[in-house]
Amino acid sequence: MHDPLSDAIGPPDVYVRGAPSPPPTQRLEGPRHAEVVVIGAGFTGLSAALHLAEAGVDVAVLEAKEIGWGASGRAFGQVVPYLKLGHEAILRHYGPARGQRIVDAVADGPDLVFELIGRHGIECWAMRSGLIFAAHSPSGRRDLESRTRYWQQRGAPVEMLEGARCAEAIGSRLYRAASLDRRGGNINPFAYARGLGRAVVAAGARICTQTHVQGLARRDGRWAIDVGGAGVTADNVVIATNAYTGDLWSGLRASIIPMRGHGFVSEPLSDNVQHTILPERQSLTDTRQLYSGVRMLPDGRLHASAHGASFGAEPKPDWRRVDARIRRLYPQLGRVRWQQGWSGWVAMTTDHFPRLHELAPGLFAGLGYNGRGIAAATMMGRDLATLARGACDDATVFPLSPLRPLHWHRIAPMLIRGLVQAYRVSDTVDDLRLRATA
Ligand SMILES: Cc1cc2nc3c(=O)[nH]c(=O)nc-3n(C[C@H](O)[C@H](O)[C@H](O)COP(=O)(O)OP(=O)(O)OC[C@H]3O[C@@H](n4cnc5c(N)ncnc54)[C@H](O)[C@@H]3O)c2cc1C
Protein backbone atom coordinates (compact mmCIF):
# COMPACT_ATOMS: atom_id res chain seq x y z
CA MET A 1 0.00 0.00 0.00
CA HIS A 2 1.13 3.57 -0.73
CA ASP A 3 2.49 5.37 2.36
CA PRO A 4 0.57 8.70 2.68
CA LEU A 5 3.61 10.25 4.39
CA SER A 6 5.58 9.80 1.16
CA ASP A 7 3.36 12.27 -0.76
CA ALA A 8 5.50 15.12 -2.10
CA ILE A 9 2.92 17.90 -2.32
CA GLY A 10 1.84 19.70 0.86
CA PRO A 11 -1.26 21.79 1.66
CA PRO A 12 -2.42 24.03 -1.23
CA ASP A 13 -0.93 27.50 -1.80
CA VAL A 14 -4.34 29.10 -1.59
CA TYR A 15 -4.65 27.94 2.04
CA VAL A 16 -1.02 28.65 2.93
CA ARG A 17 -1.25 32.25 1.64
CA GLY A 18 -4.34 32.81 3.83
CA ALA A 19 -2.78 31.41 7.02
CA PRO A 20 -0.97 33.01 9.95
CA SER A 21 2.75 32.31 10.28
CA PRO A 22 3.60 29.09 12.15
CA PRO A 23 4.60 29.28 15.81
CA PRO A 24 8.23 28.76 16.77
CA THR A 25 8.88 25.02 16.61
CA GLN A 26 11.87 22.97 17.69
CA ARG A 27 13.98 20.03 16.66
CA LEU A 28 14.21 17.36 19.31
CA GLU A 29 17.76 17.23 20.57
CA GLY A 30 19.13 15.12 23.40
CA PRO A 31 17.03 12.97 25.75
CA ARG A 32 13.85 14.62 26.99
CA HIS A 33 10.87 13.74 29.15
CA ALA A 34 7.31 15.05 28.87
CA GLU A 35 4.24 14.09 30.86
CA VAL A 36 2.43 13.55 27.55
CA VAL A 37 3.84 13.15 24.06
CA VAL A 38 1.37 13.71 21.21
CA ILE A 39 2.31 12.22 17.82
CA GLY A 40 0.87 14.19 14.86
CA ALA A 41 0.10 17.91 14.52
CA GLY A 42 -3.29 17.91 12.80
CA PHE A 43 -6.58 18.86 14.47
CA THR A 44 -6.61 15.74 16.69
CA GLY A 45 -3.08 16.15 18.03
CA LEU A 46 -3.19 19.94 18.32
CA SER A 47 -6.53 19.91 20.11
CA ALA A 48 -5.25 17.21 22.51
CA ALA A 49 -2.09 19.23 23.16
CA LEU A 50 -4.02 22.47 23.65
CA HIS A 51 -6.48 20.95 26.11
CA LEU A 52 -3.60 19.33 28.03
CA ALA A 53 -1.37 22.42 28.06
CA GLU A 54 -4.27 24.61 29.21
CA ALA A 55 -4.78 22.17 32.10
CA GLY A 56 -1.13 22.68 33.10
CA VAL A 57 0.21 19.38 31.72
CA ASP A 58 3.76 19.30 30.27
CA VAL A 59 3.23 18.31 26.60
CA ALA A 60 5.43 17.81 23.55
CA VAL A 61 3.95 17.38 20.06
CA LEU A 62 6.07 15.43 17.56
CA GLU A 63 5.20 15.91 13.88
CA ALA A 64 6.93 14.16 10.97
CA LYS A 65 6.41 17.11 8.59
CA GLU A 66 4.87 20.49 9.46
CA ILE A 67 1.86 21.69 11.45
CA GLY A 68 -1.29 20.90 9.44
CA TRP A 69 0.65 19.00 6.76
CA GLY A 70 -1.76 16.02 6.76
CA ALA A 71 -5.49 16.02 6.00
CA SER A 72 -6.04 18.98 8.34
CA GLY A 73 -4.27 21.37 5.98
CA ARG A 74 -6.05 20.05 2.86
CA ALA A 75 -9.69 19.63 3.95
CA PHE A 76 -12.56 21.20 2.05
CA GLY A 77 -13.24 23.42 5.07
CA GLN A 78 -16.83 22.63 6.06
CA VAL A 79 -17.32 22.52 9.83
CA VAL A 80 -20.22 20.09 10.16
CA PRO A 81 -22.47 19.20 13.12
CA TYR A 82 -22.71 15.60 11.84
CA LEU A 83 -20.72 12.42 11.53
CA LYS A 84 -20.88 10.48 8.26
CA LEU A 85 -24.01 8.68 9.48
CA GLY A 86 -27.01 10.43 11.01
CA HIS A 87 -28.62 10.38 14.45
CA GLU A 88 -30.63 7.17 13.89
CA ALA A 89 -27.53 5.16 12.99
CA ILE A 90 -25.62 6.64 15.93
CA LEU A 91 -28.39 5.71 18.39
CA ARG A 92 -28.56 2.18 16.92
CA HIS A 93 -24.81 1.69 17.06
CA TYR A 94 -24.05 3.12 20.51
CA GLY A 95 -27.39 2.56 22.28
CA PRO A 96 -29.79 5.26 23.52
CA ALA A 97 -27.71 6.80 26.34
CA ARG A 98 -24.23 6.93 24.80
CA GLY A 99 -25.72 7.46 21.35
CA GLN A 100 -27.65 10.54 22.44
CA ARG A 101 -24.56 11.93 24.12
CA ILE A 102 -22.63 11.53 20.86
CA VAL A 103 -25.43 13.01 18.71
CA ASP A 104 -25.60 16.07 21.00
CA ALA A 105 -21.83 16.51 21.29
CA VAL A 106 -21.34 16.20 17.52
CA ALA A 107 -24.10 18.77 16.98
CA ASP A 108 -22.12 21.09 19.30
CA GLY A 109 -18.86 20.32 17.43
CA PRO A 110 -18.97 23.56 15.39
CA ASP A 111 -19.45 25.51 18.67
CA LEU A 112 -16.19 24.01 19.95
CA VAL A 113 -14.32 24.89 16.73
CA PHE A 114 -15.65 28.46 16.45
CA GLU A 115 -15.14 29.03 20.20
CA LEU A 116 -11.47 28.02 19.89
CA ILE A 117 -11.11 30.23 16.81
CA GLY A 118 -12.65 33.18 18.70
CA ARG A 119 -10.81 32.65 21.99
CA HIS A 120 -7.40 32.30 20.34
CA GLY A 121 -8.01 34.97 17.69
CA ILE A 122 -7.29 32.53 14.84
CA GLU A 123 -7.53 34.21 11.44
CA CYS A 124 -8.84 31.46 9.19
CA TRP A 125 -11.68 32.89 7.05
CA ALA A 126 -14.10 31.68 9.74
CA MET A 127 -17.65 32.19 8.54
CA ARG A 128 -20.60 30.64 10.31
CA SER A 129 -23.26 31.29 7.72
CA GLY A 130 -24.35 27.64 7.54
CA LEU A 131 -24.15 24.67 5.23
CA ILE A 132 -26.44 23.68 2.37
CA PHE A 133 -27.11 19.98 1.72
CA ALA A 134 -28.98 19.54 -1.57
CA ALA A 135 -31.18 16.56 -2.50
CA HIS A 136 -29.81 14.87 -5.62
CA SER A 137 -32.60 12.21 -5.70
CA PRO A 138 -36.05 11.53 -4.19
CA SER A 139 -34.52 9.31 -1.50
CA GLY A 140 -31.92 11.98 -0.76
CA ARG A 141 -34.77 14.44 -0.30
CA ARG A 142 -36.58 12.14 2.13
CA ASP A 143 -33.39 11.76 4.18
CA LEU A 144 -32.88 15.50 4.34
CA GLU A 145 -36.52 16.12 5.29
CA SER A 146 -36.32 13.58 8.09
CA ARG A 147 -33.02 15.03 9.39
CA THR A 148 -34.37 18.57 9.18
CA ARG A 149 -37.53 17.60 11.11
CA TYR A 150 -35.46 15.89 13.81
CA TRP A 151 -33.31 18.98 14.39
CA GLN A 152 -36.21 21.42 14.13
CA GLN A 153 -38.01 19.48 16.90
CA ARG A 154 -34.88 20.04 19.00
CA GLY A 155 -34.92 23.77 18.31
CA ALA A 156 -31.90 23.83 15.97
CA PRO A 157 -31.71 26.46 13.17
CA VAL A 158 -32.20 23.97 10.33
CA GLU A 159 -34.75 24.45 7.51
CA MET A 160 -35.74 23.01 4.14
CA LEU A 161 -35.33 25.25 1.12
CA GLU A 162 -37.67 24.45 -1.76
CA GLY A 163 -38.05 25.60 -5.36
CA ALA A 164 -37.09 29.25 -5.96
CA ARG A 165 -35.60 29.69 -2.46
CA CYS A 166 -33.39 26.67 -3.04
CA ALA A 167 -32.29 27.94 -6.47
CA GLU A 168 -31.54 31.39 -5.08
CA ALA A 169 -29.50 30.10 -2.11
CA ILE A 170 -27.40 27.84 -4.34
CA GLY A 171 -27.32 30.06 -7.44
CA SER A 172 -28.40 27.13 -9.61
CA ARG A 173 -31.63 25.53 -10.81
CA LEU A 174 -30.19 22.02 -10.69
CA TYR A 175 -31.69 21.05 -7.33
CA ARG A 176 -35.34 21.24 -6.25
CA ALA A 177 -34.78 20.99 -2.48
CA ALA A 178 -32.04 21.40 0.09
CA SER A 179 -31.54 21.59 3.83
CA LEU A 180 -29.88 24.71 5.26
CA ASP A 181 -28.16 24.09 8.58
CA ARG A 182 -27.06 27.32 10.20
CA ARG A 183 -25.06 25.60 12.95
CA GLY A 184 -22.17 24.84 10.59
CA GLY A 185 -19.70 27.06 8.82
CA ASN A 186 -16.58 27.26 6.74
CA ILE A 187 -12.91 27.91 7.41
CA ASN A 188 -9.44 27.79 5.89
CA PRO A 189 -8.48 24.50 7.56
CA PHE A 190 -4.71 24.96 7.21
CA ALA A 191 -5.00 28.37 8.88
CA TYR A 192 -7.07 26.81 11.67
CA ALA A 193 -4.35 24.16 12.19
CA ARG A 194 -1.61 26.79 12.31
CA GLY A 195 -3.71 28.91 14.68
CA LEU A 196 -4.20 25.92 16.98
CA GLY A 197 -0.44 25.35 16.79
CA ARG A 198 0.20 28.94 17.89
CA ALA A 199 -2.28 28.50 20.76
CA VAL A 200 -0.54 25.25 21.81
CA VAL A 201 2.85 27.00 21.99
CA ALA A 202 1.35 30.04 23.75
CA ALA A 203 -0.11 27.65 26.36
CA GLY A 204 3.42 26.41 27.11
CA ALA A 205 3.73 23.19 25.07
CA ARG A 206 6.54 22.36 22.64
CA ILE A 207 5.98 21.39 19.02
CA CYS A 208 8.80 19.57 17.25
CA THR A 209 8.34 19.47 13.48
CA GLN A 210 10.35 17.33 11.01
CA THR A 211 10.34 14.74 13.80
CA HIS A 212 9.25 11.36 12.50
CA VAL A 213 8.40 8.95 15.33
CA GLN A 214 9.73 5.55 14.38
CA GLY A 215 8.84 3.39 17.35
CA LEU A 216 7.32 3.18 20.81
CA ALA A 217 8.29 0.89 23.67
CA ARG A 218 7.29 0.55 27.31
CA ARG A 219 10.37 0.71 29.57
CA ASP A 220 10.55 1.08 33.36
CA GLY A 221 6.93 2.23 33.59
CA ARG A 222 7.40 4.95 30.95
CA TRP A 223 7.03 5.21 27.19
CA ALA A 224 10.26 5.47 25.21
CA ILE A 225 9.65 7.24 21.90
CA ASP A 226 12.20 6.63 19.18
CA VAL A 227 12.72 9.49 16.77
CA GLY A 228 15.92 8.13 15.25
CA GLY A 229 18.97 9.23 17.19
CA ALA A 230 17.33 11.52 19.76
CA GLY A 231 14.75 10.05 22.07
CA VAL A 232 12.05 11.24 24.39
CA THR A 233 10.21 9.55 27.24
CA ALA A 234 6.66 10.17 28.38
CA ASP A 235 4.23 9.01 31.06
CA ASN A 236 1.44 8.94 28.46
CA VAL A 237 1.36 9.00 24.67
CA VAL A 238 -1.39 10.11 22.29
CA ILE A 239 -1.25 8.82 18.70
CA ALA A 240 -2.99 11.35 16.42
CA THR A 241 -1.84 10.26 12.98
CA ASN A 242 -5.24 9.30 11.48
CA ALA A 243 -5.00 8.29 7.79
CA TYR A 244 -1.23 8.93 7.85
CA THR A 245 -0.76 6.19 10.48
CA GLY A 246 2.23 3.95 9.79
CA ASP A 247 3.60 0.99 11.72
CA LEU A 248 3.95 2.67 15.11
CA TRP A 249 1.61 0.23 16.81
CA SER A 250 0.76 -3.21 15.56
CA GLY A 251 -2.71 -3.36 13.98
CA LEU A 252 -3.50 0.38 14.16
CA ARG A 253 -2.82 1.06 10.49
CA ALA A 254 -4.87 -1.99 9.48
CA SER A 255 -7.87 -0.82 11.53
CA ILE A 256 -8.68 2.00 9.09
CA ILE A 257 -8.77 2.36 5.31
CA PRO A 258 -6.95 5.45 4.04
CA MET A 259 -8.57 6.95 0.91
CA ARG A 260 -7.63 10.00 -1.10
CA GLY A 261 -9.87 13.05 -1.21
CA HIS A 262 -9.35 15.77 -3.85
CA GLY A 263 -9.71 19.56 -3.88
CA PHE A 264 -9.62 22.11 -6.74
CA VAL A 265 -9.59 25.91 -6.88
CA SER A 266 -10.22 28.19 -9.83
CA GLU A 267 -8.78 31.59 -10.64
CA PRO A 268 -10.94 34.37 -9.16
CA LEU A 269 -14.30 34.55 -10.98
CA SER A 270 -15.44 37.79 -12.57
CA ASP A 271 -17.37 40.15 -10.26
CA ASN A 272 -20.66 39.77 -12.12
CA VAL A 273 -20.89 35.99 -11.65
CA GLN A 274 -19.24 35.71 -8.22
CA HIS A 275 -22.31 37.02 -6.46
CA THR A 276 -24.72 34.67 -8.22
CA ILE A 277 -23.05 31.65 -6.64
CA LEU A 278 -23.90 30.74 -3.04
CA PRO A 279 -24.63 34.44 -2.36
CA GLU A 280 -24.73 33.98 1.43
CA ARG A 281 -21.41 32.10 1.24
CA GLN A 282 -22.61 28.80 2.63
CA SER A 283 -20.88 25.76 1.22
CA LEU A 284 -22.85 23.23 -0.79
CA THR A 285 -22.76 19.45 -0.77
CA ASP A 286 -25.41 17.02 -1.92
CA THR A 287 -26.77 13.63 -0.99
CA ARG A 288 -24.92 11.59 -3.64
CA GLN A 289 -22.62 8.79 -2.45
CA LEU A 290 -19.34 10.31 -3.67
CA TYR A 291 -18.42 13.67 -2.22
CA SER A 292 -19.34 16.81 -4.04
CA GLY A 293 -18.53 20.07 -2.22
CA VAL A 294 -18.59 23.57 -3.72
CA ARG A 295 -17.92 26.91 -2.03
CA MET A 296 -16.68 30.41 -2.79
CA LEU A 297 -13.42 31.53 -1.18
CA PRO A 298 -13.09 35.07 0.19
CA ASP A 299 -11.02 36.22 -2.83
CA GLY A 300 -13.67 35.12 -5.35
CA ARG A 301 -12.24 31.73 -6.27
CA LEU A 302 -14.48 28.73 -6.68
CA HIS A 303 -13.42 25.76 -4.53
CA ALA A 304 -14.76 22.32 -5.39
CA SER A 305 -14.16 18.81 -4.19
CA ALA A 306 -14.71 15.98 -6.64
CA HIS A 307 -14.05 12.32 -6.73
CA GLY A 308 -10.75 11.05 -8.15
CA ALA A 309 -8.21 8.25 -7.67
CA SER A 310 -8.82 6.80 -4.20
CA PHE A 311 -5.52 4.97 -3.74
CA GLY A 312 -1.91 4.97 -4.87
CA ALA A 313 0.72 7.63 -5.52
CA GLU A 314 -0.21 11.30 -6.04
CA PRO A 315 -2.22 11.58 -9.27
CA LYS A 316 -2.31 14.58 -11.61
CA PRO A 317 -5.45 16.69 -10.93
CA ASP A 318 -8.44 15.36 -12.86
CA TRP A 319 -9.80 18.69 -14.15
CA ARG A 320 -12.26 17.02 -16.52
CA ARG A 321 -14.43 15.53 -13.81
CA VAL A 322 -14.62 18.66 -11.65
CA ASP A 323 -15.14 20.88 -14.69
CA ALA A 324 -18.03 18.76 -16.00
CA ARG A 325 -19.74 18.87 -12.63
CA ILE A 326 -19.36 22.63 -12.22
CA ARG A 327 -20.66 23.27 -15.77
CA ARG A 328 -23.81 21.28 -14.98
CA LEU A 329 -24.30 23.09 -11.70
CA TYR A 330 -23.35 26.61 -12.80
CA PRO A 331 -23.80 26.97 -16.58
CA GLN A 332 -23.64 30.79 -16.13
CA LEU A 333 -19.90 30.50 -15.44
CA GLY A 334 -18.93 29.55 -18.97
CA ARG A 335 -15.32 28.43 -19.03
CA VAL A 336 -13.78 28.12 -15.55
CA ARG A 337 -10.00 28.48 -15.34
CA TRP A 338 -8.84 25.95 -12.75
CA GLN A 339 -5.65 26.92 -11.00
CA GLN A 340 -4.68 24.26 -8.50
CA GLY A 341 -5.64 20.71 -7.57
CA TRP A 342 -4.46 18.72 -4.57
CA SER A 343 -5.29 15.64 -2.55
CA GLY A 344 -5.05 14.33 1.00
CA TRP A 345 -5.94 11.18 2.88
CA VAL A 346 -9.08 10.50 4.90
CA ALA A 347 -9.38 7.54 7.28
CA MET A 348 -12.46 5.43 6.65
CA THR A 349 -13.82 2.82 9.06
CA THR A 350 -16.06 -0.09 8.14
CA ASP A 351 -19.01 1.12 10.25
CA HIS A 352 -18.32 4.82 9.46
CA PHE A 353 -17.77 5.70 13.14
CA PRO A 354 -14.56 7.16 14.66
CA ARG A 355 -12.40 5.13 17.03
CA LEU A 356 -11.00 5.96 20.47
CA HIS A 357 -8.54 3.37 21.81
CA GLU A 358 -6.42 2.72 24.86
CA LEU A 359 -3.86 0.54 23.09
CA ALA A 360 -1.81 -0.18 26.23
CA PRO A 361 -1.59 1.47 29.67
CA GLY A 362 -1.05 5.19 29.00
CA LEU A 363 -1.12 4.85 25.19
CA PHE A 364 -4.17 6.37 23.50
CA ALA A 365 -5.26 6.84 19.87
CA GLY A 366 -8.19 8.64 18.20
CA LEU A 367 -8.88 8.32 14.47
CA GLY A 368 -11.29 7.34 11.69
CA TYR A 369 -13.43 10.43 10.98
CA ASN A 370 -14.58 9.26 7.55
CA GLY A 371 -14.00 12.67 5.97
CA ARG A 372 -15.87 14.63 8.68
CA GLY A 373 -12.96 15.51 10.94
CA ILE A 374 -12.70 19.28 11.42
CA ALA A 375 -15.11 19.33 14.36
CA ALA A 376 -14.94 15.61 15.22
CA ALA A 377 -11.12 15.54 15.40
CA THR A 378 -11.12 18.69 17.53
CA MET A 379 -13.57 16.91 19.86
CA MET A 380 -11.52 13.71 19.76
CA GLY A 381 -8.43 15.69 20.77
CA ARG A 382 -10.34 16.94 23.81
CA ASP A 383 -11.34 13.33 24.62
CA LEU A 384 -7.73 12.14 24.27
CA ALA A 385 -6.58 14.91 26.62
CA THR A 386 -9.21 13.80 29.14
CA LEU A 387 -7.96 10.20 29.02
CA ALA A 388 -4.29 11.22 29.16
CA ARG A 389 -5.07 13.10 32.38
CA GLY A 390 -6.25 9.86 33.97
CA ALA A 391 -10.04 9.99 33.52
CA CYS A 392 -12.00 7.01 32.18
CA ASP A 393 -14.24 7.04 29.13
CA ASP A 394 -17.32 7.97 31.19
CA ALA A 395 -15.95 11.48 30.82
CA THR A 396 -15.42 11.39 27.05
CA VAL A 397 -17.82 11.81 24.13
CA PHE A 398 -16.64 8.73 22.22
CA PRO A 399 -16.37 5.43 24.14
CA LEU A 400 -13.15 3.41 24.19
CA SER A 401 -13.26 0.45 21.85
CA PRO A 402 -10.90 -2.49 21.29
CA LEU A 403 -8.48 -2.31 18.36
CA ARG A 404 -9.81 -4.40 15.45
CA PRO A 405 -7.39 -4.74 12.56
CA LEU A 406 -9.17 -5.67 9.31
CA HIS A 407 -7.93 -9.04 8.13
CA TRP A 408 -8.69 -8.02 4.51
CA HIS A 409 -6.75 -4.74 4.82
CA ARG A 410 -4.21 -5.64 2.13
CA ILE A 411 -6.89 -6.15 -0.49
CA ALA A 412 -9.00 -3.17 0.67
CA PRO A 413 -8.05 -0.95 -2.32
CA MET A 414 -9.20 -3.64 -4.75
CA LEU A 415 -12.52 -4.18 -2.95
CA ILE A 416 -13.19 -0.49 -2.48
CA ARG A 417 -12.38 0.41 -6.08
CA GLY A 418 -15.28 -1.89 -7.03
CA LEU A 419 -17.60 -0.22 -4.51
CA VAL A 420 -16.60 3.27 -5.68
CA GLN A 421 -17.30 2.25 -9.27
CA ALA A 422 -20.80 1.09 -8.25
CA TYR A 423 -21.39 4.41 -6.43
CA ARG A 424 -20.21 6.30 -9.50
CA VAL A 425 -22.71 4.47 -11.69
CA SER A 426 -25.62 5.05 -9.29
CA ASP A 427 -24.64 8.74 -8.85
CA THR A 428 -24.49 9.16 -12.63
CA VAL A 429 -27.94 7.62 -13.09
CA ASP A 430 -29.36 9.91 -10.36
CA ASP A 431 -27.58 12.86 -11.95
CA LEU A 432 -29.16 12.20 -15.34
CA ARG A 433 -32.62 12.01 -13.71
CA LEU A 434 -31.94 15.23 -11.79
CA ARG A 435 -30.91 17.09 -14.95
CA ALA A 436 -33.96 15.78 -16.77
CA THR A 437 -36.26 17.31 -14.11
CA ALA A 438 -34.32 20.56 -13.53
C1 LIG B 1 -9.50 16.45 0.61
C2 LIG B 1 -10.11 16.37 1.99
C3 LIG B 1 -11.26 17.10 2.26
C4 LIG B 1 -11.82 17.07 3.55
N5 LIG B 1 -12.87 17.89 3.82
C6 LIG B 1 -13.38 17.94 5.08
C7 LIG B 1 -14.42 18.88 5.39
O8 LIG B 1 -14.84 19.70 4.59
N9 LIG B 1 -14.92 18.84 6.66
C10 LIG B 1 -14.47 17.98 7.60
O11 LIG B 1 -14.98 18.00 8.73
N12 LIG B 1 -13.45 17.12 7.34
C13 LIG B 1 -12.89 17.09 6.12
N14 LIG B 1 -11.86 16.24 5.84
C15 LIG B 1 -11.37 15.35 6.90
C16 LIG B 1 -10.45 16.07 7.88
O17 LIG B 1 -9.52 16.85 7.18
C18 LIG B 1 -9.70 15.03 8.75
O19 LIG B 1 -10.64 14.17 9.34
C20 LIG B 1 -8.89 15.70 9.86
O21 LIG B 1 -8.06 16.69 9.34
C22 LIG B 1 -8.07 14.64 10.61
O23 LIG B 1 -7.20 15.32 11.48
P24 LIG B 1 -6.04 14.51 12.20
O25 LIG B 1 -5.32 15.47 13.05
O26 LIG B 1 -6.62 13.33 12.90
O27 LIG B 1 -5.13 13.94 11.05
P28 LIG B 1 -4.10 14.69 10.05
O29 LIG B 1 -4.47 16.12 9.87
O30 LIG B 1 -4.00 13.86 8.84
O31 LIG B 1 -2.74 14.70 10.86
C32 LIG B 1 -1.96 13.55 11.08
C33 LIG B 1 -0.53 14.03 11.23
O34 LIG B 1 0.27 12.96 11.73
C35 LIG B 1 1.56 13.11 11.19
N36 LIG B 1 2.26 11.82 11.34
C37 LIG B 1 1.93 10.63 10.79
N38 LIG B 1 2.80 9.67 11.18
C39 LIG B 1 3.70 10.27 11.99
C40 LIG B 1 4.85 9.80 12.71
N41 LIG B 1 5.22 8.51 12.68
N42 LIG B 1 5.56 10.68 13.46
C43 LIG B 1 5.18 11.99 13.53
N44 LIG B 1 4.10 12.48 12.87
C45 LIG B 1 3.36 11.64 12.11
C46 LIG B 1 1.31 13.52 9.75
O47 LIG B 1 2.42 14.16 9.15
C48 LIG B 1 0.10 14.46 9.90
O49 LIG B 1 0.48 15.83 9.96
C50 LIG B 1 -11.25 16.26 4.57
C51 LIG B 1 -10.10 15.53 4.30
C52 LIG B 1 -9.51 15.59 3.03
C53 LIG B 1 -8.24 14.84 2.77
Q: By the 8 A CB rule, do 243 and 311 touch?
A: no
Report the separation in Å between the CA atom of 71 and the middle of ligand 1, taken as the mean of its atom positions: 3
Q: Residues with beta carbon inside 6 Å of ligand 1?
A: 5, 39-45, 62-65, 69-72, 74-78, 80, 212-213, 240-244, 246, 248, 261, 263, 305, 344-346, 369, 371-374, 377
pLDDT tens per residue, range 41-70: 999 999 999 999 999 999 999 999 999 999
β-sheet bridge partners, residue 211: none
Burial letters 135-159, b for 16+ CB under 10 A, else e: bbbeebbebbeebbeebeeeeeebb
pLDDT above 90 coverage of the chain, percent: 83
pLDDT of residue 415: 82
Q: What is the CA radius of gyration of the chain?
A: 21
The CA distance from 359 to 365, in Å, is 7
Looking at residue 31, what is its pLDDT? 62
Would strands 131-134 and 283-286 be described as parallel, antiparallel, or unpaired?
Answer: parallel
- Taking the C-alpha atoms of residue 153 and residue 371, their distance in angstroms, rounded to an integer, is 27
* Whether pLDDT at 127 is above 80: yes
* Whether 97 contacts 315, CB under 8 Å: no
What is the Cα–Cα distance from 372 to 350, expressed in whole angstroms?
15
Q: How far is CA 400 from CA 242, 364, 366, 367, in A?
A: 16, 9, 9, 12
pLDDT tens-digit readout, 16-45: 999 999 999 987 776 689 999 999 999 999
Residue whose CA lies nearest to ligand 1 atom number 19 = 373
Give the ranges where 347-395 is alpha helix by DSSP (H).
Answer: 373-388
Work out the pLDDT band at 263, boundaries 50, 70, 90. Answer: very high
